[in-house]
């Protein structure tokens, strides 16, 4: 396994729509090694999610530790992060919630982003088995954020206003109490 270099905002890999992984590729050594590297890289950088395009790989795959602690901060040892391949999201209901987000590709920046409170997700796991997950609140937010990366969308693109855009220090000082 390897810790991969994370693409930062401005790199074209983050603005390019990733291609679907074919069924025959799902269990290939190349895709399985990528998944292991995504997991190791996410944990190393204390992220709660990491998508293929964020490590310069234009494939529709992401990993996510949906059991993150309070405030979306990752726990010291996330248990069983999910591997999601070719995700398809369907919002459930019309409830949209605006909450704080950050991104490993946009280090030390936070902003309030509107997202569907509840979603249904269909995807494949790393073995090629079909998953269907209902998620709400923080897990739904992470899934939507990471799926956006697969479509070349950054969280800035979803913000209604850039007024809450903050460096991490200022977020911690002035906004984290919200």
Query: Which DSSP symbol is given to 9?
Result: T
Phi, then psi, of 154 in degrees rounded to 5? -105, 160
The tokens for 156 are 């800035």
Could you tell me which of 101, 107, 117 has the C-alpha nearest to residue 156?
Answer: 101
**Catalytic residue of the set 22, 118, 146, 163:** 146
Tokens of 120: 């249904």
User: CA of 139: how far to CAs of 8, 63, 67, in Å?
Assistant: 23, 12, 8
146 is catalytic: yes
> Which residues does the annotation mark as catalytic?
146
């Amino acid at each position: 396994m390897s810790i991969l270099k994370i693409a930062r905002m401005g790199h074209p890999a983050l603005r390019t729509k990733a291609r679907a992984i074919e069924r025959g590729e799902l269990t290939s050594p190349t895709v399985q090694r990528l998944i292991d590297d995504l997991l190791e890289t996410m944990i190393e950088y204390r992220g709660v999610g990491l998508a293929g395009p964020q490590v310069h790989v234009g494939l529709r795959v992401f990993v996510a530790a949906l059991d993150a602690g309070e405030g979306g901060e990752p726990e010291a040892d996330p248990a069983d992060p999910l591997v999601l391949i070719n995700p398809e999201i369907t919002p459930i209901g019309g409830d949209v919630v605006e909450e704080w987000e950050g991104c490993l590709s946009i280090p030390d920046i936070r902003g309030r982003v509107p997202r569907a409170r509840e979603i249904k997700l269909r995807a494949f796991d790393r073995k090629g088995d079909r998953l269907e997950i209902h998620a709400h609140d923080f897990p739904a937010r992470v899934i939507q954020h990471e799926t956006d990366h697969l479509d070349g969308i950054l969280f800035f693109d979803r913000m209604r206003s850039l007024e809450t855009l903050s460096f991490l220090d200022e977020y911690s000082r002035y906004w984290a109490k919200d």
